Structure 1
């Protein structure tokens, strides 16, 4: 299979670190201030029109009056016009000055807050290690971010749509930029990351990000979203460890719930319910571990830790071996899929590291 990928055209926009800057509140205050200024202008203009001024003269007279610039009247004022002008000065000048100060404060405060929060977030990202980078904050990316955050994992969300980033929960690090640019991946700390989840809007973008991430970090775990069945092979060829089609997985899960609802619910609870005492986790047996070269029966893992080994994979790409027999020897690089309480699984992980 030949994989040809052209980088999507992103124009001239470069990567920009972005944070939520409280823009919604600032814009609301600015809109309210502009409404106040417009109300004063309309009130003054209406009054002068009723006093016999033309529309242009009325607008001009209102602006010069509330701006206190000191120009003479457009035309001589009658006693009624003088009284109206006095009232306009007393009410209008104060209103204009107040609303102008609100606009200035909102603008400067927003920029200052954005600058300070950006610096703080950039420092947080620079200090992160073993985190997960989520590329794309659509429905799939958002769901992945929520799951990771709920389980205490550190993450950085990257998207080129500021409106999407407004939906990122407070406290979650995020960047606004073109994730197909290697600079953005570096800003997100890809050199220190644990994994990348590529969940972009198009398969072309996802393939390009997968290629870039794999080139930067050959040892990185990369999970890519496949929008079509045909794109899965391309994503794996590009360097993804897993290519996931959410629609296909969702359909299969619905079918399992229809045919074996109790089994499906049990797996759901064990994998995703934090209140469940038992969990399923994977335990890696690295080179140098005391488990290497020994059989499952010899190790007596359940007796020593309480955790039940459901399956074993004795190397990357090899099939799982469910309910491993006692004479199964564990080489370096094996992965144990175990069921147990948090303390039991911790004991198993500690034993594997000895």
Structure 2
């Protein structure tokens, strides 16, 4: 990022890169033009003193410093030649410097941005299991912040040339274009979040993403209630209406503020240590068809099993005799340390059979 002060001994460019010390390009251009003007005046004055009239002196100065050089007047002396040599050295160097600054101002930013995009694309190509977010407005920014806070890599797709993603990966383009989705690594992503302002665009991207990656988990934003079933039909696994969710959340806070505050703590990464974790019983697990008590989750990890989902049905606060089944989704509550133990238990016993 640019520093606060424009003049200083050195400054850091984008991503902390140390750039050349001195003036900004615009200031260097003004300085070059000022010196070039001074040389024109000095050259014209010198040739006038050497015997040329003003127009011929100005003409001779211009063709000299521009290296055009149509030839010298006849019968020139040593002083004329010596003055012309000095003028060529000073004027040509100043002209080249000024032209170089102009080229830098015109093309350096564009080339630097192009190189930065290529470096970022190489980094994106190495990602796997990341989340792709389409749209970086207020909703998209909030989603990205929550995901990054949870430790998930995020790639943002947005077509606004003025959007600033900060430290996040950005693919600048239209999310409705399959090329932009592929550049974001959609085939290697674990989830796709559609946060575009248009329901039509979210619908189109959902269809495209589902065709490109059939197993992708897609969460879509619906700006109108009528768009919810259509987005489900287009392949979205979950469809959220921010206005409806926001209204329900505000009502819950007004009715039961304590309960709402507690769930706010456990569903977000805050300073509180308690968290929620979900895990699906894999196919072929030796615990399928056996009671929950045999898993000994509470005894081995200290976590509490809050609910189990089977298909579209939830079993809240399941008891030890509850029979587990393949593809059951367990929701457990515990501290960071307890959840780490639970993950290790799931990996060793549910996945490999203990």
Could you tell me which runs of 5 or more consecutive residues in structure 2 were left unpaired when the two chains were aligned.
1-13, 45-53, 72-86
1:279 shift after superposition = 0.3
| Alignment partner, residue 130 of structure 2 | 131
1:267 Cα deviation (Å)? 1.3
1:201 is displaced (CA, Å) by: 2.1
- The 1-side partners of 2:118 and 2:192 are apart by 23
What SS does structure 2 have at the residue aligned with 1:287? coil
Contact 2:308/2:328, CA 8 A, preserved across alignment: yes
Q: Name the SS for the 1:143 alignment partner.
A: helix
Are residue 240 (structure 1) and residue 236 (structure 2) matched? yes
Alignment of 1:182-261 (within 5 A): 182-261=178-257
TM-score, normalised with respect to structure 1:
0.74
SS in 2 for 1:282: strand
Distance across 1 between alignment mates of 2:292 and 2:266: 24
Change in Cα spacing, 1:32 to 1:299, as seen in structure 2 (3 Å) is same
Pick one of 312, 320, 331 that aligns with 1:326.
320
Structure 2 counterpart of 1:281: 277
Superposed CA offset, 1:285-304 (max 9, x none)? 11122321112233332112
Distance 1:159-1:69 versus aligned 2 partners, 3 A rule: same
Residue deviations 1:292-350, cap 9 Å, x none?
A: 111223333211221101111012xx132211133221111111111101232222233
Paired with 2:247 and 2:336, the residues of 1 have a C-alpha distance of: 31
Instruction: Tell me, yes or no, if the aligned pair for 1:194 and 1:221 is still in contact at 8 Å.
Output: yes
Partner of 1:104: 103
Deviation at 1:30, TM superposition (A): 4.5
Q: Is the 8 A contact 2:176 2:201 kept in 1?
A: yes
Distance in 2, matches of 1:138 and 1:42, equals 48
Change (3 A) 1:334 1:38: same
- Alpha-carbon distance between aligned partners in 1 of 2:274 and 2:231, rounded to the nearest angstrom: 34
The match for 2:166 is 169
Q: Which residue of 1 aligns with 2:82?
A: none
Task: Return the index of the structure with the highest Cα Rg.
Answer: 2
SS, match of residue 239 in structure 2: strand
Cα drift, residue 108 of structure 1: 5.4
How far, CA to CA, are the matches of 2:172 and 2:146 in structure 1? 21
Q: Kindly provide the CA deviation profile for residues 86-140 of structure 1, in whole angstroms up to 9, marking residues without a partner as x.
A: xx99998776544433333455544553344333222222221111111111111
Distance 1:235 1:97 in 2: 59
Q: What is the number of equivalent residue pairs in this alignment?
A: 312
Q: Indicate yes or no: 2:342 matched with 1:345.
A: no
